[in-house]
């Protein structure tokens, strides 16, 4: 492991320490003449002590830059060490300066890379896991590309520096920095883990960070290493599983109760219609109005039960080649009638060279388009334009149907929940419409994307071309 930042021992004390140190060490004077070396260094260069002492260190060592012997602080260098004749091996070098009786000396500690270490370094550099190796003072000994990406750090800026100082200097966002520093401050024994979320290019990224102790008996090295894993997709899948479980529970409830509710509703509706007719004949128009209100509420309950059944029971999906434009043309009168009630103008745009044919279930597509168009019209309130736009997707194996409104837009905190069952912002909404649309799209091999802003909202329906 790296030795202290400053040497405050005399030369004999230093020699005593050097002989007991497991790393290869060389002591040189201000001229670069070798004063002494330890046994690990002799084994490394395959020479005896008397064959090394008194010679210039440049006979055994090459570094890309000139050594700054006068610097009274620690330096880290990269160089090559001559081992066994002409054989040169790459090594990291830690150089420290000390004084003894007005004489300066410099201690060079070598950290050569063995062939196995080189292979391991290459493997680690290609891992998608972030790895940071720390010494016992939490100084960074190595950091791989994935970790640099997750932490937003450059290797040269953090190498051999305390990681806490680098975090503070780089001003990493909270609570990311707070949790990471807390993890580093935890006791060295045992494995500890934390999970944080941070924004990367306006997208949420979830990182799992685990710290493990490490000890090498041979060298005496003691430290820790961080493993940083991007678990964004895993958490997203877990969220989707929880949502699917809720849908499955909803399906079981709906399947068990929907028919039982619908049967008495039919009887109640029938008798109320008879009573309403009799009241009208007797001129009791006020009472007959109450009957009409009850019939409307029963119809609303019946529609809700129908949506339960649509969401719960497996649909008989009949995939076949369908003209998207033909499907839209068949439901356009319904859309225009709804739009007229809200003073909304409907526009159709075809940004395609030919009419697209997709693989889908035409009846289910109608249900999706009607639901999305109805939502768009209601979002605009009174007045505005509804645009239905057909474009080619990228890659060209799909077609996109955009349903664009000029409403106030959807807030970010609402956007995350709009496809959840029972979530609604409408006073009389059931919160099942978009859930059903999304489920239909999954069953026919497509999907829905949403974008929203102050100028309105766009629901994009992606369909596979035939």
**pLDDT in tens for each of the 466 residues of the chain?**
344 434 566 777 888 888 888 888 999 988 889 999 999 899 888 889 999 999 998 888 887 666 665 555 677 788 888 877 667 888 888 888 877 666 778 889 988 876 666 677 778 778 889 999 888 888 888 889 998 888 888 888 888 888 888 888 767 677 778 888 888 888 877 888 888 887 766 667 888 999 999 887 765 678 899 999 989 888 888 888 887 777 677 666 666 676 677 778 888 888 888 998 888 888 888 888 888 888 888 887 877 777 666 655 556 678 888 898 889 988 898 898 888 888 999 999 988 777 778 888 888 898 899 889 999 998 888 889 999 999 887 766 788 999 999 988 988 888 888 888 777 887 777 777 888 888 888 888 889 999 998 889 999 999 888 7
Yes or no: say if 26 and 41 are a contact pair by the CB < 8 Å rule: yes
Give the pLDDT of residue 202.
67
Identify the helix (H) or strand (E) that includes residue 207: strand 203-215
Q: What is 344-388 written as a DSSP string?
A: EEEEEEEE-SS--EEEE-HHHHHHHHHHHHHHHHHHH-SSEEEEE
Yes or no: say if 310 and 252 are a contact pair by the CB < 8 Å rule: no
> CA angle, 113 as apex, 108 and 114 as ends, to 5°?
130
**Is 261 in a helix, a strand, or coil?**
helix
Give the pLDDT of residue 459.
94
Q: In what order do the strands lie in the sheet with 130-135?
A: 140-143, 130-135, 222-230, 203-215, 192-200
Longest CA pairwise span in the chain (Å): 127
**Is 117 in a helix, a strand, or coil?**
helix
> In this structure, what are the phi and psi dihedrals at residue 220, rounded to the nearest 5 degrees?
85, 5
Yes or no: say if 280 and 291 are a contact pair by the CB < 8 Å rule: no
């Amino acid at each position: 492991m790296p030795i202290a930042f400053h040497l405050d021992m005399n030369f004999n004390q230093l020699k005593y320490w050097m002989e007991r140190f497991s790393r290869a060490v060389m002591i040189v004077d201000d001229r670069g003449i070798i004063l002494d070396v330890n046994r690990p260094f002799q084994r490394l260069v395959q020479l005896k002590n008397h064959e090394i002492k008194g010679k210039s260190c440049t006979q055994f060592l090459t570094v890309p830059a000139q050594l700054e012997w006068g610097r009274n602080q620690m330096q880290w260098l990269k160089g090559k060490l001559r081992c066994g004749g002409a054989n040169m091996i790459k090594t990291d070098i830690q150089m420290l300066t000390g004084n003894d009786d007005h004489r300066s000396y410099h201690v060079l500690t070598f950290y050569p890379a063995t062939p196995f270490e080189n292979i391991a370094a290459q493997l680690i550099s290609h891992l998608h896991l972030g790895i940071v190796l720390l010494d016992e003072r939490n100084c960074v000994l190595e950091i791989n590309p994935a970790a640099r990406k997750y932490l937003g750090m450059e290797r040269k800026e953090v190498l051999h520096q305390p990681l806490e100082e680098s975090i503070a200097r780089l001003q990493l966002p909270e609570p990311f920095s707070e949790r990471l520093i807390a993890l580093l401050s935890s006791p060295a024994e045992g494995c500890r883990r934390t999970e944080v979320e941070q924004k990367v290019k306006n997208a949420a990224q979830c990182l799992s960070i685990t710290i493990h102790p490490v000890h090498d008996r041979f060298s005496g090295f003691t430290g820790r290493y961080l493993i940083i894993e991007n678990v964004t997709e895993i958490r997203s899948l877990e969220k989707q599983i929880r949502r699917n479980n809720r849908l499955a529970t909803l399906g079981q409830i709906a399947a068990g109760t929907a028919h039982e509710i619908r049967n008495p509703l039919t009887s109640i509706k029938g008798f109320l219609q008879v009573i309403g007719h009799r009241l009208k004949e007797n001129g009791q128009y006020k009472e007959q109005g109450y009957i009409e209100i009850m019939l409307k509420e029963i119809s609303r309950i019946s529609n809700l039960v129908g949506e339960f059944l649509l969401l719960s029971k497996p649909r008989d999906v009949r995939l076949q080649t369908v003209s998207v434009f033909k499907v839209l043309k068949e439901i356009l009168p319904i859309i225009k009638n709804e739009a007229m009630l809200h003073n909304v103008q409907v526009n159709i745009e075809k940004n395609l060279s030919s009419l697209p044919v997709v693989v889908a279930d035409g009846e289910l597509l109608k249900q999706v388009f009607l639901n999305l168009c109805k939502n768009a019209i209601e979002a605009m309130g009174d007045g505005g334009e509804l645009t239905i736009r057909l474009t080619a997707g990228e890659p060209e194996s799909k077609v996109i149907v955009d349903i664009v409104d000029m409403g106030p837009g959807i807030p970010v905190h609402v956007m995350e929940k709009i496809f959840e069952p029972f979530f609604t912002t409408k006073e009389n909404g059931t919160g099942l419409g978009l859930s059903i649309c999304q489920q239909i799209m999954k069953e026919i091999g497509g999907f829905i994307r949403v974008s929203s802003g102050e100028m309105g909202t766009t629901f994009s329906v992606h369909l596979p071309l035939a």
